[in-house]
């Protein structure tokens, strides 16, 4: 009976949030001891502390609890020290990587293969994608087929939602259950829902597709279309309702249903080279389906020369006799490559005379937006001018000054002067991490120069634990010979590590970089990262084998 009560108590405690667990442990000694000793709760607490991904992982009670928790810490340490396990993985000919989710690697036909399929005189089935299980060495890949030509740029696979979205070149959207399609491999044997795109496909050959919460969102940059996935009528709503958002210079759609766009308006009758305004507009599409009219937040981005020069001089300790040159054509840039949990804005400048090219970076964690809204309860006033001009849509809305929210953002300056004349970097943002690869080093020397920046770093302690499943275990100790992994890890050359400690508002961050010798001088074709930020998949041009850079355990 005591054991039964303990099991029931464990199930109840697991339903509580991390904050509720901590509060409960502080008000009652019995709960305090129980929370300390239950392995599944300890796993959740350590996972929150040493966060290795955005989504909760399932605790497996059949495995040793200590190992489960040490694995979490080891993943963080692997990223910090840049010690991945590098392996090779073969895929079908004339295929390119599309995405990776969990252990499913998805590839789509190459441009050459798509041309062959389109030019075929008789073809009743077209290859949609091929799915591999990377965790299973002997598992055969499965190729899925459809009876029509697909716009491969808009293919969306969401395994957690058990959803695949396919858009025909004619503009018809098809929603299919991934698990059913994966088993049958043929679309005509699957249940599917269909509805039409709310736009002329020929006029918009390039657009982005995103599933946020229970909604499908189509990003056309100057306008957006939103529909509820559970709506039987499949009705799309346009945003903005009238006109376009012409001053939108890039946007992010988050999994929480937030649309975040960089607004750089054109002021009528004024030269934009003199008066510079930039804002970050945050709209919410969460909850019941409605098209917002006003942004939840309108944050001022430093763009005027007086504000920028003061900030740069303070951050870099630049004397007054050195000039800061910001080109009149240079505008702030919002980085939108990937599915990040932060907003990164950058602006380039150089120092005169013969100074380096530098970049000012502002990173706002998305989870800080609600705190910024609470701290700045400014009244939004409209004056009848909002959305009147598509080139200056937020004319009547008061912006939150940069000085009032900058403490909730990461701000730094880095030298981006190319060390080689033709250095080009590929960048992808996933979760709280940024991955950068030097294309030129990979193409000419077969060297993988990798740089990882993490904006949610937890420092591993250097002391033994006094309770729970990790009692008397040092988290950062070197493993004994019998505990070392069977497969060796790669050690980078020229490893560099920069850390920034946490403060009252923000988590710490680090930048880890190094070089690995792959020995295959070929151009980078594509790179993808899994949602947890632990696996990089690199494909080089003309190579049927992929590089898997795995920081997991």
User: Is the residue at 74 inside a domain?
Assistant: yes
Query: How many domains does the chain contain in total?
Result: 1
Range 280-296 average pLDDT: 86
In this prediction, residue 416 has a pLDDT band, given cuts at 50, 70 and 90, of confident
The CA distance from 336 to 93, in Å, is 30
User: Is the residue at 477 inside a domain?
Assistant: yes
User: Is the residue at 490 inside a domain?
Assistant: yes
Q: Which tokens go with 298? A: 């309108």
Most confident among 164-178, 278-292, 342-356, 443-457 (mean pLDDT): 443-457
Range 385-399 average pLDDT: 87
User: Is the residue at 192 inside a domain?
Assistant: no
* pLDDT score of 370 more than 80: yes
In this prediction, residue 125 has a pLDDT band, given cuts at 50, 70 and 90, of confident
Query: Comparing 145 with 474, which gets the higher pLDDT?
Result: 145
Query: Comparing 150 with 400, which gets the higher pLDDT?
Result: 400
pTM, entire model? 0.85
In this prediction, residue 471 has a pLDDT band, given cuts at 50, 70 and 90, of low
pLDDT at 477: 54
**What average pLDDT does the structure give for the chain?**
83
pLDDT at 164: 93
Query: Comparing 467 with 322, which gets the higher pLDDT?
Result: 322
Bridge partners for 512 per DSSP: 452, 497
At residue 26, the 3 state secondary structure works out as helix
| 440-447 CB contacts, 8 Å cutoff, 24+ apart | 441/515, 442/518, 442/521, 442/522, 442/523, 442/524, 442/540, 443/521, 443/522, 443/523, 443/524, 444/521, 445/521, 446/517, 446/518, 446/519, 446/520, 446/521, 446/522, 447/515, 447/516, 447/517, 447/518
Q: What is the pLDDT of residues 319-363, one digit of tens each?
A: 888 888 888 778 999 998 888 899 999 999 888 877 788 899 999
Lowest-confidence region among 168-177, 255-264, 455-464, 477-486: 477-486
User: Is the residue at 103 inside a domain?
Assistant: no
Residue among 201, 144, 211, 147 nearest 172 (CA): 201
**Is the four-CA dihedral 434, 438, 442, 448 of positive or negative sign?**
negative
The CA distance from 179 to 160, in Å, is 10
Q: Which tokens go with 467? A: 């309770």
**Is the four-CA dihedral 415, 420, 421, 423 of positive or negative sign?**
negative
pLDDT at 99: 93
pLDDT at 504: 85
Lowest-confidence region among 424-428, 432-436, 535-539: 424-428
User: Is the residue at 11 inside a domain?
Assistant: no
pLDDT at 76: 82
- Helical ranges in 317-394 per DSSP H: 369-375
Phi/psi class of residue 31: alpha, beta or left (left: φ > 0; alpha: ψ in -120 to 50)? alpha
237-239: strand order across its sheet: 208-212, 215-219, 224-228, 237-239
In this prediction, residue 114 has a pLDDT band, given cuts at 50, 70 and 90, of confident
Using a pLDDT cut of 70, give the percent of the chain over it: 83
Range 460-474 average pLDDT: 56
8 Å CB contact between 385 and 396: yes
How buried is residue 462: exposed, middle or buried, by Cβ count under 10 Å (0-12/13-18/19+)? exposed
The CA distance from 283 to 265, in Å, is 17
The CA distance from 526 to 22, in Å, is 44
The DSSP code for 189 is G
How buried is residue 213: exposed, middle or buried, by Cβ count under 10 Å (0-12/13-18/19+)? middle
User: Which domain covers residue 451, as residue numbers?
Assistant: 66-81+422-550
pLDDT at 96: 94
Q: What is the pLDDT of residues 71-92, one digit of tens each?
A: 777 888 889 899 999 999 999 9
Count CA atoms within 13 Å of residue 120 on its CB side: 14
Query: Comparing 115 with 5, which gets the higher pLDDT?
Result: 115
Residue 180, C-beta contacts closer than 8 angstroms, at least 6 positions apart? 190, 191
In this prediction, residue 275 has a pLDDT band, given cuts at 50, 70 and 90, of low
Range 91-104 average pLDDT: 91
User: Is the residue at 536 inside a domain?
Assistant: yes
The DSSP code for 471 is B
The CA distance from 497 to 513, in Å, is 7
pLDDT at 54: 42
User: Is the residue at 246 inside a domain?
Assistant: no
In this prediction, residue 2 has a pLDDT band, given cuts at 50, 70 and 90, of very low
Range 384-406 average pLDDT: 88
Question: Which residue carries 């019941």 as its tokens?
Answer: 288
* pLDDT score of 417 more than 80: no
pLDDT at 1: 35
pLDDT at 49: 61
């Amino acid at each position: 009976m005591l054991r039964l009560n303990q099991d029931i108590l464990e199930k109840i405690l697991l339903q509580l949030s991390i904050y509720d667990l901590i509060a409960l442990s502080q008000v009652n000694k019995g709960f305090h001891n129980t929370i300390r000793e239950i392995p599944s709760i300890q796993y959740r607490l350590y996972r929150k502390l040493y966060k290795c991904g955005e989504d909760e992982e399932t605790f497996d009670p059949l495995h040793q609890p200590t190992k489960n928790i040490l694995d979490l810490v080891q993943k963080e340490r692997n990223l910090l020290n840049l010690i991945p396990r590098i392996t090779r993985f073969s895929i079908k000919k004339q295929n390119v990587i599309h995405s990776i989710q969990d252990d499913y690697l998805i590839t789509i036909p190459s441009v050459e293969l798509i041309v062959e399929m389109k030019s075929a005189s008789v073809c009743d089935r077209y290859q949609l994608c091929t799915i591999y299980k990377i965790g299973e060495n002997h598992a055969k890949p499965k190729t899925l087929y459809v009876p029509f030509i697909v716009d491969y740029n808009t293919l969306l696979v969401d395994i957690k939602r058990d959803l695949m979205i396919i858009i025909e070149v004619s503009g018809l959207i098809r929603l299919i259950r991934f698990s059913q399609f994966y088993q049958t491999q043929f679309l005509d044997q699957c249940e599917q829902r269909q509805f039409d795109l709310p736009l002329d496909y020929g006029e918009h050959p390039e657009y982005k597709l995103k599933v946020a919460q229970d909604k499908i969102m189509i990003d056309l940059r100057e306008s957006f279309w939103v529909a509820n996935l559970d709506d039987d009528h499949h009705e799309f709503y346009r945003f903005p309702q009238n006109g376009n958002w012409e001053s939108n210079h890039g946007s992010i759609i988050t999994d929480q249903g937030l649309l975040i766009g960089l607004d750089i308006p054109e002021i009528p009758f004024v030269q934009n080279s003199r008066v510079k305004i930039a804002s970050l507009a945050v709209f919410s599409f969460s909850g019941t389906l409605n098209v917002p009219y006003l942004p939840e937040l309108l944050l001022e981005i430093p763009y005027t020369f007086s504000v920028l020069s003061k900030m740069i001089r303070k951050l870099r300790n630049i004397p007054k006799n050195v000039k800061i040159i910001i080109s009149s054509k240079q505008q702030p840039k919002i980085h939108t490559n990937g599915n990040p949990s932060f907003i990164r804005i950058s602006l380039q400048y150089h120092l005169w005379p013969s100074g380096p090219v530098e970049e000012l970076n502002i990173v706002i964690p998305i989870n800080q937006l609600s705190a910024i809204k609470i701290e700045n309860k400014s009244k939004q006033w409209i004056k009848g001018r909002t959305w009147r001009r598509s080139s200056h849509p937020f004319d009547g809305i008061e912006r939150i000054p940069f000085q009032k929210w900058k403490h909730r953002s990461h701000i730094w300056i880095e030298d981006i002067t190319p060390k080689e004349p033709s250095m080009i970097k590929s960048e992808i943002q996933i979760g709280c991490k940024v991955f950068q690869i030097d294309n030129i080093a990979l193409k000419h020397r077969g060297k993988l120069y990798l740089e990882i920046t993490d904006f949610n770093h937890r420092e591993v302690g250097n002391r033994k634990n006094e309770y729970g499943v990790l009692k008397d275990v040092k988290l950062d100790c070197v493993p004994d010979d019998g505990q070392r992994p069977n497969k060796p890890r790669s050690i980078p050359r020229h490893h560099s590590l920069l850390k920034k400690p946490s403060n009252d508002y923000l988590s710490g961050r680090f930048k880890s970089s190094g070089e690995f010798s792959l020995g295959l001088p070929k151009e980078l074709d594509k790179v993808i990262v899994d949602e947890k930020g632990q696996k990089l998949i690199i494909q080089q041009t003309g190579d049927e084998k992929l590089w898997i850079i795995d920081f997991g355990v």
